[in-house]
Structure 1
Amino acid sequence: MSAPSLIPSKADTSRHAPPRAAGSGPPGGHFTRSLRRNLTAHGFLIGAVICFALFSWYPMIREFFLAFQKTDDGQTTWVGLDNLTTVFNDPAFWQAWRNTLLFTLLALVFGFAVPFVVAVVINEFHHAQGYLRLLVYLPVMLPPVASVLLFKYLYDPGYGLLNELFRFVGLPEQQWLQDPDISMLSVVIASTWMNMGGATLIYLAALQGIPGELYEAAELDGAGLFRKIWHITVPQTRLILSLMLLMQIIATMQVFVEPFLLTGGAGPEGSTTTVVYLIYQYAFNFNNYGAAAALGLLLLVILAGFSAAYAKLSRADDE
């Protein structure tokens, strides 16, 4: 009988060997596998960064430098603050700011309040909310040109539906887009109808997040509809309301499409000339890209100031 061997066999070695640790391998193998696994995600991320860099960040940086330059016959020279001086000395500058502030104020009265009221009304319906949401959001899905053509038909002084309605009830007809006193109001009404769908759905989502027990307790205390809205609905949606207010100010101060398509941009006696339309005029009508960039930079600074003020007030409320 032969003596047992002191050298373990290959079967014994494989049977008693410790299991290989998960992820072990040659140096760099785990990183390579992880990179290969996320290669698609990195590709989409790089593509998005490139798009932002080319179409958002580069134009902003280019505008900053262009605001202090002037180009004549292909020669670019630095002119310092001359472009801002040109803009400030233009009488249309102050008129454009007055019109823009007027549009913003009217849009806050209509475009900020009306969607909230509509959301409160829809929230009271226990049935057919899906159809009502679709009905409210439908104007947003329409192309802006189609919506503008609809309102141009409504505002037409000859055969427009609004003047037909006014004649039916015995009211005097109006020159909706031709009268400088009401042309801006007409633009605001059209803009509110075209853009209120998104804000209404945001408000409706915020309203549906309010606990129903608060309204039940208020009803037991004898609170009416307006008291419930003022003491429950508004405080519970304060964050959304303040955020939408900031977004409304930023959006309305950059209004361009509605006045441009409804009144040709300037409107009667310049009553619908806005800051962004004046930028458009400087760039494409007067070929003064330096003045256009300077005015755009000024608008950017003012809107950034609104955003900074909102952030500071929000931080103070949280504290």
Structure 2
Amino acid sequence: MGWENYQRLFDDPLFATAWTNTGYFTLLALVFGFAAPFAVAVVLNEFRHARSYLRMTVYLPVMLPPIVTMLLWRWFYDPGPGLFNNVLEVFHLPAQQWLESEHLAMISLVLVATWANMGTTTLIYLAALGSIPGELYEAAELDGASVRQRLRHVTIPQMRFILMITLLLQVIGTMQVFVEPFVLTGGGPDDATVTVLLLLYRYAFVYNDFGMASAMSTLLFVVLGLFAALYLRLTRSKG
């Protein structure tokens, strides 16, 4: 009986769609959500005044309840009086159907997730930047290294381990995306934002098919377990 659930799961066309969408979301989240916190941390690290205030500002979205964040961004994306379309109108650009377009919906969800979660990663990067010996930057400056060269030859090599760990943690986190598509798009348009956890939710609480939900949960557990094992291997080798 258990194997029949897997067979029915693999026969469901939404199964492949959900994994494809989740992989696409994860890829976009790495492009935006992995680079943005690092860039913000590098910029904030250069400030000598109001550093605590700026850190609190960056971390503020993390403290907001997820439903509040979703409702705020739903207004941003509103095709009528929404903030983003009003900004486009100022520049005489056409309004966009942010959450109703198959091409824009997933990117829109990634922007929400990035804004809501980047505060924690930014603080981690700031702590790592603070642990880099200042002598390395002084030596680089004496050698005439530019800001870009110091970033490339000092900052990134010194933070390689932290960057790798946060990369793995972000992959694990983004593969479990649920709140954004559930609240903002419901998986639409045309199943363009159906993710693994959203499909799992449908199996369990919409279709009342807990066999399929359990099979999907097991597969997700295995995939995330592989990334978790890689994470543990890296942290142990570092120690």
CA contact (8 A) 2:200 2:216 kept: yes
- Give 1:282's aligned amino acid: Y
Residue 292 in structure 1 maps to residue 213 in structure 2: yes
In the alignment, residue 124 of structure 2 is paired with which amino acid?
I
Pairs within 5 Å for 1:120-135: 120-135=42-57
Structure 1 letter corresponding to 2:227: F
The equivalent of 2:91 in structure 1 is 169
Bigger radius of gyration, 1 or 2? Answer: 1
Q: Aligned partner of 1:211: which letter?
A: P
Q: Which structure's residues are more often helix, by fraction? A: 2
Matched, 1:136 2:58: yes
| 3-state SS in 1 of match to 2:2 | coil
Instruction: Decide which of 7, 13, 17 is 1:91's aligned counterpart.
Output: 13
CA distance in 2, matches of 1:248, 1:309: 13
Deviation at 1:309, TM superposition (A): 3.3
Superposed displacement of residue 314, structure 1: 6.0
Amino acid at match of 2:102: P
The aligned runs of 1:97-112 (5 Å cut-off) are 97-112=19-34
State which of 214, 217, 222 in structure 1 corresponds to 2:139.
Answer: 217
Letter in 2 for 1:205: A
- Which segments of structure 1 move beyond 3 Å, counting only runs of 4 or more? 309-315
Distance (whole Å) between structure 2 residues aligned to residue 147 and residue 198 of structure 1: 16
CA shift digits 1:101-125 (9 cap, x unpaired)? 0000000011111001000000000
Partner of 1:305: 226
Whichever residue aligns with residue 141 of structure 2, its letter is: E
Task: Measure how far apart 1:240 and its partner are.
Answer: 1.1
Q: Distance in 2 between matches of 1:227 and 1:304?
A: 37
Residue equivalent to 2:201:
280
- Structure 2: distance between partners of 1:150 and 1:307: 33
8 Å contact 2:2–2:211 — kept in the other structure?
no
Alignment of 1:1-319 (within 5 A): 79-264=1-186, 266-312=187-233
Structure 1 pair 208–162 and aligned structure 2 pair: CA distance change class (3 A): same
Identity, % of aligned pairs? 56
Distance 2:5 2:216 in 1: 8
- CA RMSD, 1 decimal: 1.4
How far 1:187 sits from its partner (Å)? Answer: 0.4
CA distance in 1, matches of 2:43, 2:110: 22
User: How much has 1:310 moved relative to structure 2?
Assistant: 4.0
Q: Deviations over 1:255-279 (max 9, x none)?
A: 0011111112x11010110000000
Task: Measure the CA separation in 2 of the matches of 1:313 and 1:88.
Answer: 33
* 1:80 CA displacement: 3.2
Deviations 1:26-55 (A, max 9, x none): xxxxxxxxxxxxxxxxxxxxxxxxxxxxxx
User: SS in structure 2 opposite 1:269?
Assistant: coil
Query: Alignment partner of 1:174: what SS?
Result: coil
Cα distance, 1:313 vs. partner? 5.6
Q: Distance in 2 between matches of 1:138 and 1:131?
A: 10
Counterpart CA distance in 1 for 2:60 and 2:116 is 9
